[in-house]
Amino acid sequence: MESLEQIGMRAKKASRYLAKLGIDEKNKALDAVADALETNAEYIIRANEKDLENARANGMKPALIDRLALNEKRINAMADGIRVLTGLEDPIGEVTGMKKRPNGLVIGTKRVPLGVVAIIYESRPNVTADAFGLTFKSGNACILRGGSDSINSNIAIEEVISNALKDCGIDQDVINLVRDTDRALVNELMHMNNYVDVIIPRGGAGLIKNVIMNSTVPVIETGTGNCHVYVDEYADIQMAVDIIYNAKTSRIGVCNACESLVVHKAVAKQAVPAIVDALKQKDVEVRGDEYACQCDDRIVKASEEDWGKEYLDYIISLKTVDSIDEAIGHINRYNTGHSESIITKDYNNANRFLDEIDAACVYVNASTRFSDGYEFGFGAEIGISTQKLHARGPMGLKALTTTKYVIYGEGQVRQ
């Protein structure tokens, strides 16, 4: 098995090749990859079944098994996400801000690829296709290091992509899957500054923290999701119930699922039982404060750690508040900077929530589950950034680029 340094060398060389590839060539290859994923769906599913079998044998939680599982619908969605990319404008080569200086120099900025992007991720094999599509369209080579739990699925997807690229005459080294699941390689990858331009971790809090604290390669942080829905005193209760049910139960193992509720006490007696009724359809355990427990005896007492918990399970916390100020304060204290939503008919409260909540995505009267690259029109996302430098929120093509200054002169020399 080849060394990580060999992979890095090949990826670096491929990144220079890819940076010069034209838009028509990239789009043609992406269409071919999308077709190949659908054509080889059965092959990918067979590989995925091996991973699912191992996951069940190892006692993996249902939410994580859901992240791991692939079926024809999910593979078609992967293919559709790649096809969407072909319809998006190529960010590479865009020149903006051209200005002429008094000395005659004309200075502007040009958008260019980052180079080699390494993605370290867990469980979700669809990331293999999503990461390839976005890095390829934005002119970057990628090094992919998935988890051992999805290794068979990842290998199958990478093989399908690589073969489709070969058929199009594209250098296959633009996608590089690390097949060795030794965890020591993660630490080695985090120190490959000579070959890797940026690392993006996608997974649990432990993985993300490890990469942030130990990588010498620049990191774009994608955070865990303790996402809140706040039911304001001016909320439409039925709308709140419908949104919360969707945000919590449609997929419990994703980072944009709602993990925490905040309810204004003015509507709690009416709203809380209706919300619990809906959540109990999926046997969701609701952990609430003292007033929430008074509103519905099916709620169990919450502990302090519940307010900041990303459960990835059929559990949700519920905090009651006396004002929107208290709601905003609570959310900003315990959130992870991901996605937060207010349910309200009051224009001023909606705007206050949008202005004062510190998160990458802030919603009015909508589910947090929309925090997704596909839903935002990006085709897919390389991750949802919860940091504030370089990129924030679902990261599409532009987030995988940087700029350089281009300067035109006519023989000028500095005095």
The pLDDT assigned to 391 comes to 85
Within this chain, do residues 239 and 354 fall inside the same structural domain, yes or no? yes
Residues 215, 231, single domain; the answer is no
- Does some domain include residue 414? no
Residue 327 lies in a domain: yes
Q: Please list the pLDDT of the chain residue by residue as tens digits (415 residues).
A: 789 999 999 999 999 999 999 999 999 999 999 999 999 999 999 999 999 999 999 999 887 898 899 999 999 999 999 999 999 999 999 998 899 999 999 999 999 999 999 999 987 899 999 999 999 999 999 999 999 999 999 999 999 999 999 999 999 999 999 999 888 899 999 999 999 999 999 877 788 889 999 999 999 888 778 999 999 999 999 999 999 999 999 999 888 999 999 999 999 999 999 999 999 999 999 999 999 999 999 999 999 999 999 998 999 999 999 999 999 999 999 999 999 999 999 999 999 999 999 999 999 999 999 998 888 888 677 888 888 888 888 888 999 999 999 999 999 999 8
Clarify whether residues 115 and 237 are in a common domain: no
What CA–CA distances, in Å, run from 169 to 21, 40, 142, 162, 165? 12, 20, 18, 11, 6
CA-CA distance, 338 to 361, in Å (whole number)? 6
Q: What's the pLDDT at 47? A: 97
What CATH code is carried by the domain that includes residue 82?
A: 3.40.605.10
Residue 135 belongs to what domain range? 4-220+395-408
Same-domain check for residues 135 and 246: no
42 in a domain, yes or no? yes
Residue 265 near residue 321 (C-beta atoms within 8 A): yes
Task: Kindly state whether residues 152 and 181 are assigned to the same domain.
Answer: yes
DSSP-assigned beta bridge partners for residue 117: 142, 198
Q: Is residue 390 part of a domain?
A: no
| 42 and 100 both lie in a single domain | yes
Confidence (pLDDT) at 22? 92
> Does one domain contain both 296 and 155?
no
Based on the structure, what is the number of domains in the chain? 2
In a domain, 216, yes or no: yes
Predicted TM-score of the model (pTM): 0.84
Same structural domain, 199 and 94: yes
| 385 found inside a domain | no
**CATH, residue 235:** 3.40.309.10
**Nearest of 252, 239, 240 to residue 282 by alpha carbon:** 252
Establish if 281 belongs to a structural domain: yes
149 closest CA partner among 69, 227, 213: 69
